[in-house]
Structure 1
Amino acid sequence: MERRSRLAEWLRRRPGAPGTARGGVAAADREALLLGAAAASFPVAPAAHPSGFGCSCDRVGCPTPGMHPVSFAWQTEATTDAAQITRWLLADPPANFITATGAGHDVLDVPAQAGRIALARLETEGSGTGPVAMYGDDRMLFFTASRGTPDDEDEWWPCELDCHPETLDEHPGLRWHCRGSYVLLPPSRLPDGSAVTWLRPADLPLPDPLPLLAVLTDACGQVPEVPEPEAAGGWPSR
């Protein structure tokens, strides 16, 4: 409860306040959130951030401003090393950060309305949710244990819900971020001025994805599917 109260306090801080980084979260608190995610074994890598009416990257007309990794080598650069994360923060204080999925953890990503239905059911049943984040006002991210990366590729379990950065538009409902994908971590900022924020902290035990998948699938079935506008700045496509 104390952890959630502190997060609410951080998010109420106004941009431009002394010691506050762009996006309204103090630099020390940004570092604490990212190092907390790394301590929970979420490998992180720097991402671009919204800048003016566009993106901090050098791509003219970037279609996903502030929502993609800085480097194309993000999968190998992603790390839980606190010293490296601190260096990245010092080099680019406003940077957003992603976590690479598919090794130590996956992410089940659903519309916010379905996420709220699922959370209410899980709380009623007394089931653990694991870490949960809000992606702006539109999506909810449920962090789970990973299916892993077996040595024998023939044993890899494919799933039609698998979602990679280049296929996100194909999954407007439930998305499963596993190997080869990523999600933005709190306190990343989105182009519409909203942010990625924790609803349940990163240090909670990761649940088995399959029982949670069943709950989220049922919840998504209770929500009318509304296509996401391409210009709305959904998930990254690069």
Structure 2
Amino acid sequence: MEETIPATEAAHIPRQRGASLLEAAVRCAEERHWDVLPGTWLEAVGGAQRCSCGDPACAAPGAHPAHADWPARATGSATVARRLWQQRPGASVLLPTGRAFDAIEVPETAGFLALARLERRGATPGPVTLAPDRRMRFFVLTGAGAKVPELLRGLGWPPPALDLTVLGEGAYVVAPPTRFGSWGAVQWVRRPTAANRWLPDAAELIPALAYACGRDR
């Protein structure tokens, strides 16, 4: 069953109900061949939800790596992923970038504007997430970090001028339906489907994303 939830005046996000963290992790590994990593989780402490890391001021409660050596703990095996989340059903689902994909992160308002421009052109974006921090992450082919600065300069934008970040090796994306404390859950704006199995190159998205971020300044 799906329902729509308001995100901006211009867009609504279809939200799947009932998908567990375990199911989401296994699906990412099995269907998309993405490495997955169980992160921190939420614990009830004094009637409130706190991050398992123990920091009462955690900036991403229940939605960040639990160990410093987290890159080595990620797995691409659906069998291993199932076992890991069976051991810790509430663990967040983290997807390391720089392996099967990179991600381009922009503000929510810029992301929706860019999606509208891309889809008017008939482009097929890859998967896109929206987190409670009001940031959207567009999945693209790896190697985006080396390309994006030059692409932006070619469009007349010094890279530091835009609120646009590339997540590559050593970073990660928090996958749906992971929750950020009491702020809400990460959601798919564009789900992984057969239609977007082949990820776009950063060069295909940057003109629309740069325009949108420029408008959003």
TM-score class normalised by the smaller sequence = 0.7 to 0.9
Q: 1:104 aligns with which of 90, 100, 107?
A: 100
* Residue pairs, 1:131-142, within 5 angstroms: 131-136=127-132, 138-142=134-138
Greater shift in the superposed pair: 51-60 or 214-223: 51-60
TM-score, structure 2 normalization: 0.77
TM-score, structure 1 normalization: 0.71
Which ranges of structure 1 fall in alignment gaps of 5 or more residues?
A: 11-24, 149-155, 162-169, 225-238
Letter in 2 for 1:212: L
What does the per-residue CA deviation read over 1:111-130, in whole Å, with 9 as the maximum and x for residues that have no partner? 11001101101110000101
Q: Aligned residue for 2:180?
A: 190
Distance (whole Å) between structure 2 residues aligned to residue 182 and residue 118 of structure 1: 22
Q: 1:219 aligns with which of 208, 212, 215?
A: 212
Q: CA deviation at 1:78?
A: 1.2
SS of the equivalent of 2:66 reads coil
Q: Number of aligned pairs?
A: 191
Q: CA deviation at 1:67?
A: 2.5
Q: Aligned residue for 1:8?
A: 15
Instruction: Give the number of the structure whose residues are more often strand, by fraction.
Output: 2
- Could you say if the C-alpha distance between residues 200 and 175 of structure 1 is closer, same or farther in structure 2, counting changes exceeding 3 Å? same
Which ranges of structure 2 fall in alignment gaps of 5 or more residues?
A: 5-13, 151-159
1:173 aligned to 2:163? yes
Is contact 1:36-1:202 (8 Å) kept?
no
Distance (whole Å) between structure 2 residues aligned to residue 191 and residue 143 of structure 1: 24
Distance (whole Å) between structure 1 residues aligned to residue 161 and residue 59 of structure 2: 18
Letter in 1 for 2:70: W
Letter in 2 for 1:32: E
- Could you say if the C-alpha distance between residues 55 and 128 of structure 1 is closer, same or farther in structure 2, counting changes exceeding 3 Å? same
Distance (whole Å) between structure 2 residues aligned to residue 171 and residue 49 of structure 1: 35
Q: CA deviation at 1:160?
A: 5.7
Identity score, percent? 31
